[in-house]
Amino acid sequence: MNKLGCHVSMSAPDYLLGSLNMATSQDANCFMIYTGSPQSIARQPISKLKVKEFHQSLKEKHIPIEDVIVHSPYIINCANSEEKKRHFAKVFLAQEVDRVNQIGAKYLVLHPGSNPDKALGCKYIAEAINFVNKKNNHVIICLETMAGKGNEIGSKFEELKEIIKQVENKNLVGVCLDTCHVSDSGYDIKDPSATLKVFDDIIGLKYLKVIHVNDSLNDKGAHKDRHANIGEGKIGLKTLKAWVNYPLVSKICKILETPWTIDGPIYKKEIHMLLGK
Ligand code: FE
Ligand code: FE
Ligand code: ZN
């Protein structure tokens, strides 16, 4: 079965159970959560999140725990030039990986970080992952392809390749490809097979673990990172449909991170559009 889902919230009082219910109410068969606010580092203790009930309910709904993706908060920058901030980022990342492990999930999406010196930034990011992996043997950190805003690292496949090269345990590192970001960074994504050939030549397809399916408000190469609803941006429904239904990625979780309306998300409609129902 094709894996297509969406980013859902996780909040009191039902936490993970609420996330799962929100996902299935949108006809998603996989989903992504943050362990707290994406812009903050405040986190609830895992004991509050209803992990046991969550696993029971996943089982009943036939959703494997691997299809629950976690995204780390935006504000940590493992590539920071300042040693103190970099240290803070890697310690937070280690705690986040521990939380993901306690939830039982397998994939943690990470924005690689920012540094004007790309090579140095790549080195710092790999150092952070190696640090985290001293106490991790389960969670795969998935470096997200970025739009290339400011000094963001990861807008070029070569940068992700460089980070992976320096990660000691290759089984614990992967990539999350975001269609909006990859288009914004300048890649032509009209034909998934052509884009994935480039990805394969540079990074290696075996590292592709998650896909974010978003339309973009801006043209290819804009470096803006503004998501649009499916079919309402510059990428368009035809291309996004081609990605979602591309057989090579059917077993990879594809997650919508499209804008919500004042009435909430419209994922259900978008999921049906993408699946052609
Ligand atoms: Fe992201
Ligand atoms: Fe994304
Ligand atoms: Zn984005």
For the stretch 121-154, pLDDT in tens is 999 999 999 999 999 999 999 999 999 999 999 9
Of all residues in the chain, the percent with pLDDT exceeding 90 is 96
d(CA 158, CA 1): 32
Please tell me the distance between residue 224's alpha carbon and the centre of ligand 2 in angstroms: 13
Contact call for residues 212 and 177 (beta carbons, < 8 A): yes
Please tell me the distance between residue 52's alpha carbon and the centre of ligand 3 in angstroms: 31
Reported as a single tens digit per residue, the pLDDT across 159-216 is 999 999 999 999 999 999 999 999 999 999 999 999 999 999 999 999 999 999 999 9
Closest residue by Cα to residue 104 from 142, 48, 135, 64? 64
What is the average per-residue pLDDT within 213-220?
Answer: 98
What is the average per-residue pLDDT within 234-246?
Answer: 98
Contact call for residues 274 and 241 (beta carbons, < 8 A): yes
**pLDDT for the residue 188:** 98
d(CA 262, CA 237): 22
Contact call for residues 51 and 102 (beta carbons, < 8 A): yes
Reported as a single tens digit per residue, the pLDDT across 23-52 is 999 999 999 999 998 888 889 999 999 999
| Interior/surface letters 6-19, b for 16+ CB within 10 angstroms, e for the rest | bbbebeeebbbbbb
How many helices (H) does the chain have, and how many strands (E)? 9, 12
Q: Which ligand is nearest to the CA of 147?
A: 3
Cβ-based neighbours of 84, under 8 Å, separated by 6 or more: none
Q: Which ligand is nearest to the CA of 226?
A: 3
**pLDDT for the residue 155:** 98
From residue 60, give the alpha-carbon distance in Å to each of 57, 63, 89, 183.
Answer: 5, 8, 37, 38
Please determine, for residue 3, whether its predicted confidence score (pLDDT) is greater than 90: yes
d(CA 254, CA 211): 5
pLDDT, the chain, mean: 97
Please tell me the distance between residue 3's alpha carbon and the centre of ligand 3 in angstroms: 20
What is the average per-residue pLDDT within 257-261?
Answer: 97
Q: Which ligand is nearest to the CA of 38?
A: 1
Please determine, for residue 233, whether its predicted confidence score (pLDDT) is greater than 70: yes
What secondary structure does DSSP assign to 182-196, as a single string?
A: HHHTT---SSHHHHH
Peptide bond into 13 cis (omega under 30): yes
Please determine, for residue 277, whether its predicted confidence score (pLDDT) is greater than 80: no
**pLDDT for the residue 38:** 86
**pLDDT for the residue 41:** 86
Of all residues in the chain, the percent with pLDDT exceeding 70 is 100
- pTM comes to 0.98
Please tell me the distance between residue 253's alpha carbon and the centre of ligand 3 in angstroms: 17
CB-proximal residues (5 Å) to ion ligand 3: 225
